[in-house]
Amino acid sequence: MTDQGLNVGVVGATGAVGREMLKVLEQRNFPIKKIKALASERSAGKKLEFKGQEITVEKLTPEAFDDLDLALFSAGGSVSKEFAPIAAEKGCVVVDNSSAWRMDPEVPLVVPEVNPDDLVKHKNIIANPNCSTIQMVVPLKPIHDVAKIKRIVVATYQAVSGTGQKAVDELEQQVRAIFNMKEVECKVYPYQIAFNCLPHIDVFLDNDYTKEEMKMVNETKKIMGDDSIRVTATTVRVPVFYGHSEAVNIETEKKITAKEVRALLTQAPGVKVLDNPKENIYPMPIFAAGEDEVFVGRIRDDESIENGINLWIVADNIRKGAALNAVQIAEELIKRNLIKR
């Protein structure tokens, strides 16, 4: 803790994302004067650790924001809808991890490597995008700047940690049950997730896409600042604990080769290229878990069209997909003097 720092609240501090936020704040030595862990009444009084000290979880109330400069929210959409405006009104800057405010035209939706300038117009609420969108736009933005992306076709392979701790436990229990010839219980997902793939993330919408798929479509256009990019997505839950993977096909206006894309992404902020097929080198969730970078490999010319590229993109969904991106937004706010301290 430092006298020069901010008073920071983590809303949803006991959850999978909230705990990672505390870890990232600590690891990056974020300037903190005071830290407050907030959750529901259920967890009030629980102890968490921050920088070797015990902190006691407090119940989320409107008054909790009275002495806070910054609040990182990850307690779900309804909590964000209710409490983010209260915090903002009290002068506390909110970085919100839910989808509650993402498509609000008054709210910047930011990935620091892609559109940090959008922070300038913030009105005390900033939205953190969906994890699948974040890891896709980090490597696509440098390509868009050079060759203008016309269309994106993406299929995701999403880890169960994206659904929260209950889903991590469900996958583990199902694997144990199957190996012990016991009956598989499905509580979190509609079908068995162990040794299976579910083409179903979040709820189905009227157009037969899922909400997760439409988040990727709409958020990508807003973050890239280009409504003309056509995006179509199929999002799939796979039996992986940590790390989302994506098979991405893009069509560009200007010709760019796979070799040029590889060179461009080698220099891109937040990206690590792992691409050497001859040596079996490509990104995988087991390598990305616990890491900050977005890993890109399998970069190939799409030989079926004139200007097309295929990529395989992998990142830690809880880290770059949620907690790390939120903390990077807060760091950018400090750097640009966009938060009172």
**Which partner in ligand NAP, ligand 3JN, none is near 12 (CB below 5 to 8 A by kind)?**
ligand NAP
Hey, what are 335's tokens? 């750097």
Under 8 Å between Cβ of 87 and 95: no
Which of 136/311 has CB closer to ligand NAP?
136
Give the per-residue SS3 of 127-138. ECCCHHHHHHHH
CA 229/CA 37 separation, integer angstroms:
40
Q: Is position 244 annotated as part of the catalytic site?
A: yes
Q: Is position 131 annotated as part of the catalytic site?
A: yes
Identified binder of ligand NAP from the candidate list 164, 178, 300, 332, rule CB under 6 A? 164
- Considering only the stretches 14-22, 84-92, 173-181, 260-268, report the one whose residues sit in contact with ligand NAP under the rule CB under 6 A: 14-22
Can you say whether the dihedral through the CA atoms of 222, 226, 232, 237 is positive or negative?
negative
Please state the separation of Cα 80 from the chain's center in Å.
Answer: 16
Which of 204/263 has CB closer to ligand 3JN?
204
- Considering only the stretches 45-53, 155-163, 176-184, 277-285, report the one whose residues sit in contact with ligand 3JN under the rule CB under 6 A: 155-163
Under 8 Å between Cβ of 249 and 309: yes
Site for ligand NAP in 113-142 (CB under 6 A): 128, 130-131
- Considering only the stretches 22-30, 139-147, 158-166, 269-277, report the one whose residues sit in contact with ligand 3JN under the rule CB under 6 A: 158-166
CA 172/CA 189 separation, integer angstroms:
13
Which of 158, 121, 118, 125 is closest to 247 using CA atoms? 158
Smallest distance from the beta carbon of 337 to ligand 3JN, in angstroms?
28
Smallest distance from the beta carbon of 79 to ligand 3JN, in angstroms?
10
What Å distances lie between residue 100 and 132, 144, 160, 172, 259, CA to CA?
A: 16, 27, 21, 30, 39
Which of 261/313 has CB closer to ligand NAP?
313
Identified binder of ligand 3JN from the candidate list 31, 77, 85, 116, rule CB under 6 A? 77
* 111: region left, alpha or beta (phi > 0 left; psi from -120 to 50 alpha): beta
Judged by CB under 6 A, does residue 99 bind ligand 3JN? yes
Identified binder of ligand 3JN from the candidate list 122, 215, 222, 319, rule CB under 6 A? 215
Please state the separation of Cα 18 from the chain's center in Å.
Answer: 13
Determine the straight-line distance between the first and last CA of the chain, rounded to whole angstroms: 14
Smallest distance from the beta carbon of 56 to ligand NAP, in angstroms?
13
**Which partner in ligand NAP, ligand 3JN, none is near 201 (CB below 5 to 8 A by kind)?**
ligand 3JN
Which of 131, 106, 135, 134 is closest to 118 using CA atoms? 106
Judged by CB under 6 A, does residue 218 bind ligand 3JN? no
Which of 155/258 has CB closer to ligand NAP?
155
The one catalytic residue in 92, 122, 131, 144 is: 131
Hey, what are 224's tokens? 């890239």
| String of contacts with ligand NAP for each residue 98-117, x by CB under 6 A | x-------------------
Give the per-residue SS3 of 61-101. CHHHHCCCCEEEECCCHHHHHHHHHHHHHCCCEEEECCCCC
Judged by CB under 6 A, does residue 158 bind ligand 3JN? yes
What Å distances lie between residue 223 and 117, 133, 186, 313, 324, CA to CA?
A: 11, 9, 36, 18, 17
Under 8 Å between Cβ of 17 and 318: yes
Judged by CB under 6 A, does residue 311 bind ligand 3JN? no
Binding site for ligand 3JN (CB under 6 A): 77, 98-99, 130-131, 158, 162-163, 201, 215, 317
Active site residues: 131, 244
Binding site for ligand NAP (CB under 6 A): 12-18, 39-40, 42-43, 60, 74-77, 79, 97-98, 128, 130-131, 162, 164-165, 321-322
